[in-house]
A and B are shown apart, each in its own frame.
Chain A
Amino acid sequence: MIVRRAAGWLDERFGTNAIVHVTLKKIYPDHWSFYLGEFALYFFLVLVGTGIWLTFAFDASSQNAYASVLALADRSHPIGYVIRQVHHWAAVCFVAAILVHMGRIFFTGAFRRPRELNWMIGLCMLMLASFTGFTGYSLPNDGLSGTGLRIAYSVALSIPLIGRWAAGVFVGGNDFPTPQLTTHLYTLHVYFLPVLIAALLGLHLALVIYQKHTQFVRDPAHVVGRRFWPDYALRTIAALGATLAVLALLATFFEINPVGDYGPYRPWIVMNGAVPDWYAAFLEGSLRLGPATEFRIAGHPIPPVFWPGLVLPTVTFLFLLLWPFIEARLTGDRAPHDVLQRTTAVPLRVGVGAALIFDGLLLTIAAGDDQTAATLHVRLDTLVWVYRIALFAGPVIAGVLAARIAAEMRARVPAGGEPPPDAVLLVRNARGGYEEEGPQAG
């Protein structure tokens, strides 16, 4: 009754009923893999919610940041520590969900015309999410994250011509660490980056609604799926509940980033086995594998960290950003598509994807090469060389293999839904046994 009267009141003044009706009746295609993006969205919502809570407890000055994070475990913040744990776990899962969601988009060809722009927006959000995660991870000013910041500072310094300026803008001065470093990171982490993500997220979802979601059903003429209300809305609320439940379980039973163990950041204190959070690990890995050679261009030295620390991620990012256009050019398929493809439909794409996944995994694993070497009792230098060779040979082998497998799988399932020519029909007879019916018999 109240809902009806409120809706009537709004409709008289703003004419909202028509919009609400269309919104509630809108049909969304349904597939289990479509929920990956939703989980990413819900992780983001949790991050914003817990993040606002944390701003009240956090002291964003370099001197007091560490103490204020440790104080979350005090009695003055009864649930402070678990809120921080939920926040960090949500950040780890957020970037993971985005990446897996992106893999789904990539391998089903959802990025093809007319949705190239939304692919690029999504990729920008992945990069921004990683930056936000890195700045947030660095906020407590603890020993582990301080070491990571020092590395990032050195990478920024290595940019030719503008390196000193860029690094100075990053940390707010010509030294490391500067007294205002945490305040800088705080502004980036709490205002700039999340607002940017939220804006892109709005655009991302608006484009999904405006351009309509892709679907697996082979009916290009119609959207096949469920109404938003009540079918889809209830399902997505369930997904939100599941997200909250998983985060609560993680935060309760698994301690994440125990900054109390690492001590406050002091530049002269280092620790063995230091690695960044997983989404920055591939950069650490590429820094560890990069050669220690310094080029000089017109007398100007290019530090060795420039190539693995900046050129490699930038080139990879640009390649992925432009992939919809690269693929259209290579396959000649420029037609608009609303129907998703089987993952094996375009062997070229499968090969490129497999190669990228191989190198991403390899660089991530290489970030812990010291721990791997100590665990496996092998020489660290040997391991580095194995990784270096695998970095170039691996993607070729993985890519060619994956493309071949995809091509063969595609050949086995003809487009028309006909069984392949060598298919055999098994028929159960009266005695319970099975008899073959060959293609000619069937």
Chain B
Amino acid sequence: MLIFALPVLLAAVLGTAPSGADIYAAKCASCHGAQQWGSPDGPSLHRVGLADVDFYLSTGRMPAAAPWVQVAHRDERAGQQLPLAEIRVLEDYLAPVVAGGPPLPEVVSGNDLEHGHQLYEMNCQQCHAVGGDGGSIGRSDWAPALHQATIDQVADAIRAGPGEMPRFGERQLTQSDLDDVAGYVLAMQNAQPGSSIPSRSSGPVPEGALGYLAIIVLMTFVFGYWRHDKGGSIK
């Protein structure tokens, strides 16, 4: 491990940018193998596609803190992702190996929100929920919330299908479909309460809790008043 990390440390000390091979050797090779064929600790990277690589790196799910660390939740790795420049260098280095899978998608925020909404309802809402809250999808798998996803990460995930998520290729979602869905996800992130686009939904569970809170507030007033006003009973 330490020997692999040496070039990166050296580069950092000397002030030169580490090469893709150096970063790979330091951060990835212990699990994915020196030739990217994988190991018992991590899958092969051959033909996974650059969209997949970009999704895991840019959301901070990779590099994992240690093998077998659950990397499905981005929160666990918040702020620990590689610097953007290193991600680009690493992607350039891996591009020949991972070629054959979904390439890095081009995406712009689509304008047809209604179409994006329809596509979201048909393809995404089953797991990512109304408003992009995410949720459990059985066993120990969950669909993450979309509140912090960037447009590129949304496109990466749609094309690459990381984890349990299915891959949506060009035949399922065309380029303009992809733009519209991504545009809709961004619109959800920026939605204000009361607009026609759902923001984070509260749902019936907090609503019921608030109802009980209302009863408690009412009873607190009655109790306080009753304690204050106890005298004056007559038979």
Task: Convert A70-101 into 0s and 1s, putting 1 for each residue whose CB lies closer than 8 angstroms to a CB of B.
Answer: 00000000000000000001001100110010
Query: Which of chain A's residues has its CB closest to B134's CB?
Result: A374
Please give the distance in Å from A77's CB to the nearest CB on chain B: 15
Report whether A35 and B136 are in contact in the complex, using a CB–CB cutoff of 8 Å.
no
Task: Convert B103-139 into 0s and 1s, putting 1 for each residue whose CB lies closer than 8 angstroms to a CB of A.
Answer: 0000000000000000001100111111101111111
Chain A residues, CB < 8 A from B205: 275, 278, 281, 367-368, 371
Report whether A258 and B198 are in contact in the complex, using a CB–CB cutoff of 8 Å.
yes
Chain B residues, CB < 8 A from A32: 219, 222-223, 225-227
Please give the distance in Å from B77's CB to the nearest CB on chain A: 13
Report whether B73 and A227 are in contact in the complex, using a CB–CB cutoff of 8 Å.
no
Q: A226-B232, A239-B222, A269-B125 are in contact. Are A277 and B204 (CB under 8 A)?
A: yes
Q: A32-B219, A93-B215 are in contact. Are A257 and B125 (CB under 8 A)?
A: no
Please give the distance in Å from B80's CB to the nearest CB on chain A: 17
Stretch binding the partner chain, chosen from B15-23, B47-55, B206-214: B206-214
Q: Which residues between 116 and 170 of chain B lie within 8 Å of chain A, taking CB atoms?
A: 121-122, 125-131, 133-140, 142-143
Chain A residues, CB < 8 A from B125: 269-272
Q: Count chain A CB atoms within 10 A of each CB in B136, B143, B201 and give the residue with the most.
A: B136
Q: How far is the CA of A225 from the CA of B233 in the complex (A)?
A: 5
Chain B residues, CB < 8 A from A255: 193-194, 202
Q: A273-B129, A281-B204 are in contact. Are A39 and B139 (CB under 8 A)?
A: no
Query: Which of chain A's residues has its CB closest to B208's CB?
Result: A278
Task: Convert A22-37 into 0s and 1s, putting 1 for each residue whose CB lies closer than 8 angstroms to a CB of B.
Answer: 0000010011110110
Chain B residues, CB < 8 A from A367: 205
Q: Which residues between 258 and 300 of chain A lie within 8 Å of chain B, taking CB atoms?
A: 258, 260-263, 268-273, 275-279, 281
Q: How far is the CA of A71 from the CA of B111 in the complex (A)?
A: 25
Q: A223-B235, A231-B232, A380-B136 are in contact. Are A92 and B208 (CB under 8 A)?
A: yes
Q: Which residues between 59 and 80 of chain B lie within 8 Å of chain A, taking CB atoms?
A: 70, 73
Q: A225-B233, A255-B194, A278-B211 are in contact. Are A273 and B135 (CB under 8 A)?
A: yes
A246: Cβ under 8 A from any B Cβ: yes
Q: How far is the CA of A126 from the CA of B210 in the complex (A)?
A: 19
A224: Cβ under 8 A from any B Cβ: yes
Q: How far is the CA of A279 from the CA of B205 in the complex (A)?
A: 10
Chain A residues, CB < 8 A from B212: 96, 100
Chain A residues, CB < 8 A from B121: 263, 269
A381: Cβ under 8 A from any B Cβ: yes
Report whether A381 and B139 are in contact in the complex, using a CB–CB cutoff of 8 Å.
yes
Report whether B214 and A250 are in contact in the complex, using a CB–CB cutoff of 8 Å.
yes
Report whether B207 and A257 are in contact in the complex, using a CB–CB cutoff of 8 Å.
yes
Q: How far is the CA of A27 from the CA of B233 in the complex (A)?
A: 9
Q: How far is the CA of A263 from the CA of B140 in the complex (A)?
A: 29
Chain B residues, CB < 8 A from A343: none
B218: Cβ under 8 A from any A Cβ: yes
Chain B residues, CB < 8 A from A219: 235
Report whether B208 and A96 are in contact in the complex, using a CB–CB cutoff of 8 Å.
yes
Chain A residues, CB < 8 A from B221: 242
Please give the distance in Å from B117's CB to the nearest CB on chain A: 8
Can you list 17 A-B pairs, Cβ within 8 angstroms, ordered by A?
A: A30-B226, A96-B212, A224-B234, A242-B222, A246-B214, A256-B207, A257-B207, A263-B121, A269-B122, A270-B125, A271-B125, A273-B203, A278-B208, A278-B209, A278-B211, A367-B205, A379-B140
Interface residues of A (CB under 8 A from B): 27, 30-33, 35-36, 39, 89, 92-93, 96-97, 100, 143, 217, 219, 222-227, 231, 239, 242-243, 246-247, 250, 254-258, 260-263, 268-273, 275-279, 281, 367-371, 373-374, 377-381
Interface residues of B (CB under 8 A from A): 70, 73, 121-122, 125-131, 133-140, 142-143, 193-194, 196, 198, 201-205, 207-212, 214-215, 217-219, 221-223, 225-227, 232-235
> 3 smallest A-B Cβ distances: which pairs?
A278-B208, A261-B198, A370-B136
